[in-house]
Every structure is written in C-alpha cells, then in structure tokens.
A = this chain, B = another copy of it.
C-alpha cells in the first residue's frame, strides 16, 4: 500500500510560483542545479516539515524540471511522500548503510543523483551553511562542476511573503496570542515556573480558532531573579509576589511562526521597569509608523532608537529581524546601517527585549508585515506590562 498524500497546506500553484522565483535567481547566477540543505528552505519549496534534518538530506532544484527532487534517508521518504506537493518519483530514499558510515554518507547519494542526471558539468549551487567543511569539499571534488555557495539565496526570496503565507502567519499569531492570554491566567504567586510553562506550551500546541499548533518553537520564561537573561527555558522556582516574568514564544502553523514577547509582573513593577516599558512602547509605535514600503531597515531602527532615547534609554541590540518559517530569517536586520529596502509583505519580528546589566530586563515584541501605510502587527494583544494581582 502507498502512503496517501496529506491535505496540502498550499495549492500547487503557490509552490510553482516560489520555484519560479528561485529559478530566475538561479539563471541570474548561471546555476544549473541548486542543492538546498537548510530545512526552512526545503519547507518553503515543498511543504515538508518532518524533522529529519539531523541526518544528510537535500532538495535539488533543477533549472529544467518543474518539480524539485528530495534525497533523504529511506526511513524518512514516506513522510516526504505524504507532505510534499511533488510526484512520488521526486522522493528518493538513500539506504541505511549510509548512516553513521565514515566513508560514504547521504551527501554522496545527493552527488550520485546529480551525476546520474548528467548535472554536474556546469555550475551547481549549494547551501553550505550547515554543512561540515569536509562535505563541501566532497561536493567540490566529486563533481566536475563549479560549486557555488548559495546559502542565503532562497532565504532572501522567502523574505517577501505571499498573501497565503501572511494568512498562515496570522494563524500562528492567533496561537501566540492565546498562549500569552493563558500565561496571564496561570501566572500567580505560588505557581512553579515549570507548571505555568506547561500550561502555556499546551495552549500553543492546542492552538486557536480550531487550528492547532503544528510544532514547538523557541519558548523562554525568564523570571526574577533571572530577568536579565533572555534564553532560559524556565526553572523549578516558585513565582511569588514581586516576581517579574519575561515571556517569548511563538505559535507555529506548518512551519510559519509569529513570535511574541510580553512582560508580566506579580504586583507593581519597579519604577525603572515601568519607565522602560513606556519608552519601549513609544519606540515600538514609532518603528511601526516608519515601516512603510520603500523605507529601509535602518530607518525603522532609527525611529525606534530616537523614540526610546527620549525616554532616557538605549537598546544595544538590533530591534528586530526578518521572520517566517522556523522563526529567524538570517537576512535583513532592523538596525541602523542595514540598508535593505522594505517591500510590501516583508515580515519582521520587532524584538524589543532590553537587558541592561545584570539585574534589569524588559521584553515586548510584535511580528508585523510591511504595508504602504506602515507596519501592520499580527497580534491583537494590548501593549501592556501585564500586572497580575499578588
């Protein structure tokens, strides 16, 4: 029996549109075939979200073929047949003998595929970012082709979302909102950080509006005395009167994320944190006003920094980054000096976490899309420092 195709997340025409953009870029770079190894880029061009990327796999986009071909570990081929929009013949499972084998691995199977197809005499693009140096060297030595590093080529194309992708990010945002409202409900004096986290995470999985979360993404709950940290999951400590809780997480829909941060305080926050909150919200609103089609990332950051400065604060780190499948897109940053020009439906995580020294930290963030009128946030939550009664 053959495994059935899953209900497809996007119509075929959407994948072909994405592939068409990628093939245009390949032509511009004079590349005959492009080997994708970054999981988010494989998701983008095929719909595949199964977690097999811890062993070698690659999606090969050939300039002459309408559909890409996925070369993956044999045990992961059924998931690819199930999830990907492509024909069965486009999924190739390599044998188990290539796992934990020091001589030949799954990347050899990809190279074999290229050689068998007669590709490999012209330029080949390769996403090298997550590949060991010896693997890149193997592509170079086994292929006659010139191997060109194309690490961020597809990532940049992903930067401008289609309306269908925006709709998916709104679904993820509704889940993020549901998680934050759950946090507001379960964060109470006497509750362990881990137990509050369990409830919030369960909400992120159950989802919102009848649409469940489809994956777990980054989740951080950094509470007193750890509010100056930003990437701790949670601890065994019990929340108490006076605790401040900094939250960062995202709902996920078929790979797409819409991260959200808010700060909560059990009882009154300190004056300093209250003032920081006011400055950051002013900065957030200034940044969204500035994020119009045709301006630059640098302009958005400058608007944020100026508004925050009026409140007597400075944020050392960038104030955001491009976001989409699997959270961060390592391309455009909202920081002064980044001259990336904003286009409609670019999406950013306007990440205004501000950690000062070792004892102060405050977080607020929203995920937005660029429009001609400015940044449009996906969250429906108020821009509050949530005060929980003690």
Residues of A within 8 A of B (CB): 1-4, 6, 49-52, 54, 74-76, 78-79, 81-83, 95-96, 99-100, 128-133, 136, 192, 194-195, 197-199, 201-203, 205-207, 211-216, 218-220, 225-226, 228-236, 316-318, 321, 328, 330, 333, 335, 338, 353, 355, 357-359
Nearest-CB residue, chain B, relative to A252: B233
7 residue pairs bridging A and B, Cβ less than 8 Å apart? A1-B359, A49-B233, A78-B355, A99-B333, A194-B212, A198-B203, A201-B205
Nearest-CB residue, chain B, relative to A359: B1
Write the nearest CB–CB distance from A215 to chain B, whole angstroms.
5
Contact A316 B133 (CB under 8 A): no
Bound-state Cα–Cα, A192 to B100, Å: 36
Contact A216 B201 (CB under 8 A): yes
Identify 4 new A-B residue pairs, CB closer than 8 A, beyond the known A79-B229, A99-B333. Answer: A75-B230, A129-B132, A194-B207, A216-B216
Contact B100 A321 (CB under 8 A): yes
Nearest-CB residue, chain B, relative to A230: B75
Contact B229 A50 (CB under 8 A): yes
Write the nearest CB–CB distance from A197 to chain B, whole angstroms.
5
Contact A205 B198 (CB under 8 A): yes
Nearest-CB residue, chain B, relative to A203: B198
Bound-state Cα–Cα, A226 to B75, Å: 12
Bound-state Cα–Cα, A96 to B335, Å: 11
Q: A212 to chain B: which residues have CB within 8 Å?
A: 192, 194-195, 234, 236
Q: Name A230's contact: one of B76, B136, B202, B232 (CB within 8 Å).
A: B76
Bound-state Cα–Cα, A333 to B98, Å: 13
Nearest-CB residue, chain B, relative to A195: B206
Contact A198 B192 (CB under 8 A): no
Contact B358 A2 (CB under 8 A): yes
Q: A192 to chain B: which residues have CB within 8 Å?
A: 212
Q: A355 to chain B: which residues have CB within 8 Å?
A: 75, 78
Bound-state Cα–Cα, A4 to B228, Å: 11
Bound-state Cα–Cα, A205 to B216, Å: 13
Contact A79 B226 (CB under 8 A): yes
